[in-house]
Amino acid sequence: MQETRSLVMDIAPDVKLWRWLGSGSLELVFDVGSGYITSYQSDDVGYFANVLFINGHFKDHATALKKINQGGLS
């Protein structure tokens, strides 16, 4: 069975947040260059806020969480 995903947020040119439509789980994808990606999957929005904060995409966890929630995740 093939699942479809939909783009929730285009965070940066090399970072995208997706939602898998069948399961509702989230996937955070980092394009690390040369055709390679690193991705994280979870149902925990707070986890993704933390990953984005740690990687310097937001000034703090609360800001990252607010921005993700504005993307329709909660």
Largest CA distance in the chain: 39
Secondary structure tally for the chain: helices H, strands E: 2, 4
Indicate the pLDDT class of residue 67, thresholds 50, 70 and 90: confident
Please write the tens of the pLDDT for every residue from 6-32: 998 898 899 999 989 888 889 999 999
The reported pTM is 0.77
Contact 31, 37 (CB under 8 A): yes
